[in-house]
Amino acid sequence: MPGTCFVMHFQASETIMRQRNSCRKPFLRVVSKNTNAPKWRTRNELRLRVSSCRIAFMNVFQPWQLLLVTLAGWINRQQQDVIAYIQEENRILKNKLKGKRIRFTDDERRRLAVKGKVLGRKVLREVASIVTPDTILAWHRKLVAQKWDYSKRRGPGRPPVKEEIAKLTVRMARENPSWGYTTIMGALFNLGHVVARETVRNILKEHGIEPAPERSKRMPWSTFLKSHWDCIAAVDLFTTEVWTRNGLVRYYTLFFIKLSSRRVHVAGVTPNPHRIWIKQIARNLTNPIDGFLLGTRYLIMDRDSIFTDEFREYLKQEGVKPVRLPPRSPNLNAYAERFVRTIKECCLNQMIFFGERSLWNAIREFMEHYHHERNHQGLENRLIDPRHQIGLTEDSIACRERLGGMLRYYYRDAA
Interval 185-208 mean pLDDT: 88
Q: Which of 106-110, 352-356, 373-377 has the lowest mean pLDDT?
A: 106-110
Residue 403 has pLDDT above 80, yes or no: yes
The pLDDT, as a whole number, for residue 4 is: 39
The pLDDT, as a whole number, for residue 227 is: 72
Residue 104 backbone dihedrals phi, psi, to 5 degrees: -110, 145
Q: Are 248 and 241 in contact (CB under 8 A)?
A: yes
Interval 187-198 mean pLDDT: 89
Neighbouring C-beta atoms of residue 307, cutoff 10 Å: 22
Which residues on adjacent β-strands are paired with residue 357? Answer: none
The pLDDT, as a whole number, for residue 115 is: 72
Give SS3 for 105. Answer: coil
Residue 18 has pLDDT above 60, yes or no: no
Name the residue with higher pLDDT: 42 or 13.
Answer: 42
Amino acid in position 392: L
Interval 117-139 mean pLDDT: 70
The pLDDT, as a whole number, for residue 223 is: 66
Label residue 314 by pLDDT band (50, 70, 90): very high
Interval 156-172 mean pLDDT: 84
- CB-based burial, 71-98: b 16+ in 10 Å, e otherwise: eeeeeeeeeeeeeeeeeeeeeeeeeeee
Q: How big is the chain, counted in residues?
A: 415
Residue 23 has pLDDT above 90, yes or no: no
Residue 16 has pLDDT above 50, yes or no: no
Residue 288 has pLDDT above 50, yes or no: yes
Residue 59 has pLDDT above 60, yes or no: no
> What is the share, in percent, of the chain residues with pLDDT greater than 70?
72
The chain-wide mean pLDDT, for the chain, equals 78
Name the residue with higher pLDDT: 248 or 126.
Answer: 248
Q: Are 48 and 29 in contact (CB under 8 A)?
A: no
Residue 194 has pLDDT above 70, yes or no: yes
The pLDDT, as a whole number, for residue 381 is: 86
Residue 236 has pLDDT above 90, yes or no: yes
Label residue 29 by pLDDT band (50, 70, 90): very low
Residue 140 has pLDDT above 80, yes or no: no
The pLDDT, as a whole number, for residue 17 is: 44
The pLDDT, as a whole number, for residue 215 is: 66
Name the residue with higher pLDDT: 125 or 167.
Answer: 167
Give residues with Cβ within 8 angstroms of 243, minimum separation 6: 249, 352, 353, 354, 355
Q: Which of 71-85, 177-191, 279-293, 385-399 has the lowest mean pLDDT?
A: 71-85
Q: Are 172 and 187 in contact (CB under 8 A)?
A: yes
Residue 25 has pLDDT above 70, yes or no: no
Residue 352 has pLDDT above 70, yes or no: yes
Superfamily of domain 228-382: Ribonuclease H-like superfamily/Ribonuclease H (3.30.420.10)
Instruction: Please report the sign of the dihedral spanned by the C-alpha atoms of residue 10, residue 16, residue 17, residue 22.
Output: positive
Q: Return d(Cα 313, Cα 309) in angstroms, integer.
A: 6
The pLDDT, as a whole number, for residue 364 is: 95
The pLDDT, as a whole number, for residue 51 is: 64
Classify burial at 290, counting beta carbons within 10 Å of its beta carbon; exposed 0-12, middle 13-18, buried 19 or more.
exposed
The pLDDT, as a whole number, for residue 118 is: 74
The domain locations on the chain are: 2-60, 101-152, 163-218, 228-382
Residue 68 has pLDDT above 80, yes or no: no
